[in-house]
Structure 1
């Protein structure tokens, strides 16, 4: 009997493997990817999946098979189409591994289309700032504290004070999102330390999360059997994501009270949590959304800021042009306004180019092909297939961005008549359409985009308005640099000098 079971399992596995390979055998990809996900998991373990996805697109085309049921696209218009309002593509099981607690969805993990749309509508006013008065003023406070902290690390001819800029940027984005989300900043910038103690631990946990996203059935097994909860309990409140859960729960408890069933409103605060309450979110929903805000709202924005800073620090000409534009703007306030920053064309070009050069979302964000299937780049893709994007391939497309697509060159975003080298308004429009995809598109567009763009505008202007920033080791900008769901970068040591004393 046992022998029969073993043989049946082996035959079943071989049959399933053959079927999985055959249904997508007409789509090119790296060797053995049609049979196993091991190569993809190896890329994640290496810490460079985004680079491998882009390399696969460069070698095999804009539609590539990287797993038995996993494709990636390097086609911007295809990715846009999949996210459009009328698209019948849905979120794949990739997102189920983004659940923070057993059986409880956030706006990131929710796959039910109607429920997802309804939840976005309730969250939108808070994220957009419509119900959070003084969003800019809240961000300005953190910008001011960031500048004051950087000032403490200014080097002179006599004294060298190296500063880990990646750490300070993380402090900044965490302080902003905590202040906006529940009205109380973590005060990382004030104290020059990771007060909640979550940066290092979440960085160490992120690779495991990326593996779960690509093996969601493993995550679901752990979740449904209760093993995930046991593992979290074993690791304790002070490990990795558990710290974030603890912080989020404490913030919600301060608002709702300790009673689990309590739904009183001690005070109707004008922060994001207050907006969520007014729009009818339950206590559990708010706990999950708060965890999402702290994790996704800080890491991705910090990654975007670093993706702009790194090439600027190694390109003296670009940094000089940016500083000259900032000086010409004659900013009179303590902190530049968002409107002023948006009217700086070279700044906006640097932002677009930095995020194009290294897209801050290296993960696949896979969608599910509708049951009737679809024809993509001339190839039929059966229903149920998962398709993710290669952000790097899309934003390094030489057909659109030219043969120097791998080079950081902000001038490509400015028309020739305005001092740049883009010779066609239609091409610039097309490039901008691709740039918009950094924050996803349509039904899946990032709710935090408005806040993130304000943060990026302000911190870049105020940093280069006051300081000259150079890498301590241009040959190794980061001590730690890998990607999984986000870019994990630490040890970005820089030498800062005060421009006003130069």
Structure 2
């Protein structure tokens, strides 16, 4: 068989096979992480978990590992990654300054030019967060400056759904609420919504483009070989990543950001800016060490809210509606709560954020329970242990190890959410105040610590405003349940179809 092959090729092939076998043997038995439990095939390489992500079974697979190995020890889910399944470890991982170095998932370049979300170094992130964050994105500021504009979009959404109800149309409800979220994010970013709801469509295929890229994002973010070698091959990024010349999708979004930043800068230079500051304006005014952001940074951050917040917030909206439709007794209780508050004159039209928070506690519990079970970003947000290693949850973790938790796992903790961690039971948030506080502190929906999601309060504002208004105005008849899909660590709803009937 090998007689006709040059000896050098035979030698090279033998060496490669030997190197692979040695690496497998080392990872299984002598690697510093070999003492931790986990599937043998994950100890060998990062390829299995990359494939599992592409197969879109990662959350269920992780949960199966927790049921098999328990929560007492971290679980080895890759040759260099440990999963900490207990909610109590969240604070230790994500608030600890020594663990503020992000892992390779963030640095692949797949999400476009570097921005706040993809900044790996903790010190650089802190400076950038200080420049871009601040009170303008808090609930208080959103109520004062943006709630009336969000009200306009809520009313437009209700009008459009009323038209569909009168025609007795079937509505893919998960897509419609995602379009609402996209309009809110484009409005906050550029002052004007881009017409997703008005035109009843996914403008320029932005949401579709985002979802299509998730599998590659998940694979590249989990595969060390891809991060270290493949992603750097000349010309590969030009083939796989969005381009500003694209007619739609994320490439078109980036091109729009480039043009709008340039137009705004001309306007500021000629006339100054006198309107309500949107996120683009905050990016233009941001200063790091006294210097403005680079043009690349400005453009990258202008698109950040839309990339990170449109479809994920849409997922929270769609999941809550699906859970309420599937659990009729819960929906009826939520409706009764809204009706009682309405009769008492406690609700405006559209309902206001503070009214929901104060007068609709059960509805708020429904939202929290939906986000617990269907977290929109159930990703492997890993941190890298420092050069001296780190002791976490009683275990010494060697240097250079990726340590992570996972929202889908910790938010189904068998002890904290006993006896029914997989059940949709909003009442659990109202039965015991101390337990509710513990569950709140253990929520990983929006991340945790100094890198918590910048748009967290925006998402909460949307959830609290649109969802009660839908349940208030419509009866919903399920046509197709659809399903919650997790691709590349990001969740979205697909195929949730219903008929709406206007309520008296």
Fold match by TM threshold 0.5: yes
* Deviation at residue 65 of structure 1 after TM alignment: 1.1
SS class of match (2:501): strand
Measure the CA separation in 2 of the matches of 1:15 and 1:266.
65
Contact residue 299 and residue 486 of structure 1 kept, 8 A:
no
Aligned partner of 2:199 in structure 1 is 191
Change (3 A) 1:284 1:89: closer
Aligned partner of 1:67 in structure 2 is 78
Change (3 A) 1:332 1:234: closer
CA deviation vs aligned residue, 1:263-307 (integer Å, no higher than 9, x gap): 888535411111222223332212111222211111111111122
* Deviation at residue 178 of structure 1 after TM alignment: 0.3
Q: How does 1:33-432 map to 2 (within 5 A)?
A: 33-62=42-71, 63-84=74-95, 86-98=97-109, 100-101=111-112, 104-125=113-134, 126-128=136-138, 134-154=145-165, 160-215=168-223, 217-219=225-227, 221=229, 224-231=232-239, 237-238=246-247, 240-257=249-266, 267-269=273-275, 270-280=277-287, 281-330=293-342, 331-343=346-358, 344-415=360-431, 422=432, 425-432=433-440
* Deviation at residue 444 of structure 1 after TM alignment: 1.5
* Deviation at residue 480 of structure 1 after TM alignment: 8.0
Does residue 464 (structure 1) correspond to residue 464 (structure 2)? The answer is: no
Aligned partner of 1:493 in structure 2 is 497
Measure the CA separation in 1 of the matches of 2:141 and 2:473.
33
More divergent stretch after superposition (234-243 vs 456-465): 234-243
Q: How does 1:13-28 map to 2 (within 5 A)?
A: 13-21=20-28, 22-28=31-37
SS class of match (1:247): helix
SS class of match (1:111): coil
Contact residue 127 and residue 451 of structure 1 kept, 8 A:
yes
CA deviation vs aligned residue, 1:246-273 (integer Å, no higher than 9, x gap): 2322332332359xxx988853541111
Aligned partner of 1:419 in structure 2 is none
Measure the CA separation in 2 of the matches of 1:216 and 1:402.
37
Change (3 A) 1:222 1:250: farther
SS class of match (2:124): helix
Contact residue 164 and residue 492 of structure 1 kept, 8 A:
yes
Contact residue 205 and residue 240 of structure 1 kept, 8 A:
no
Does residue 484 (structure 1) correspond to residue 467 (structure 2)? The answer is: no
CA deviation vs aligned residue, 1:153-206 (integer Å, no higher than 9, x gap): 115xxx632111011111100000000011121111111112232122222221
Contact residue 255 and residue 266 of structure 1 kept, 8 A:
no
* Deviation at residue 356 of structure 1 after TM alignment: 1.0
Change (3 A) 1:373 1:339: same
Aligned partner of 1:448 in structure 2 is 455
Aligned partner of 2:442 in structure 1 is 434
The number of equivalent residue pairs is 480
SS class of match (1:153): helix
CA deviation vs aligned residue, 1:382-413 (integer Å, no higher than 9, x gap): 11111222212211112111121111011111
CA deviation vs aligned residue, 1:39-85 (integer Å, no higher than 9, x gap): 31232122121111111112112321111112212111212211115
SS class of match (1:91): coil
* Deviation at residue 38 of structure 1 after TM alignment: 3.3
Contact residue 127 and residue 272 of structure 1 kept, 8 A:
no
* Deviation at residue 26 of structure 1 after TM alignment: 1.1
Measure the CA separation in 1 of the matches of 2:274 and 2:294.
15
* Deviation at residue 100 of structure 1 after TM alignment: 3.5
Change (3 A) 1:98 1:81: farther
CA deviation vs aligned residue, 1:227-256 (integer Å, no higher than 9, x gap): 244215897513643233223223323323
Q: CA RMSD in A?
A: 2.6
Change (3 A) 1:10 1:238: farther
Measure the CA separation in 2 of the matches of 1:381 and 1:59.
22
Measure the CA separation in 2 of the matches of 1:92 and 1:172.
32
More divergent stretch after superposition (77-86 vs 403-412): 77-86
Aligned partner of 2:5 in structure 1 is none
CA deviation vs aligned residue, 1:402-451 (integer Å, no higher than 9, x gap): 12111101111103xxxxxx3xx33222112112x211111111110111
Contact residue 283 and residue 301 of structure 2 kept, 8 A:
no
Contact residue 396 and residue 405 of structure 1 kept, 8 A:
yes
SS class of match (2:204): coil
Consecutive unaligned residues of structure 2, counting only runs of 5 or more, are: 1-7, 288-292
* Deviation at residue 368 of structure 1 after TM alignment: 1.1
SS class of match (1:497): strand
Change (3 A) 1:129 1:400: closer
Measure the CA separation in 1 of the matches of 2:101 and 2:484.
35
Change (3 A) 1:264 1:196: farther
Measure the CA separation in 1 of the matches of 2:270 and 2:228.
34
SS class of match (1:495): strand
SS class of match (1:53): helix
More divergent stretch after superposition (178-187 vs 71-80): 71-80
Measure the CA separation in 2 of the matches of 1:471 and 1:252.
43
SS class of match (1:210): helix
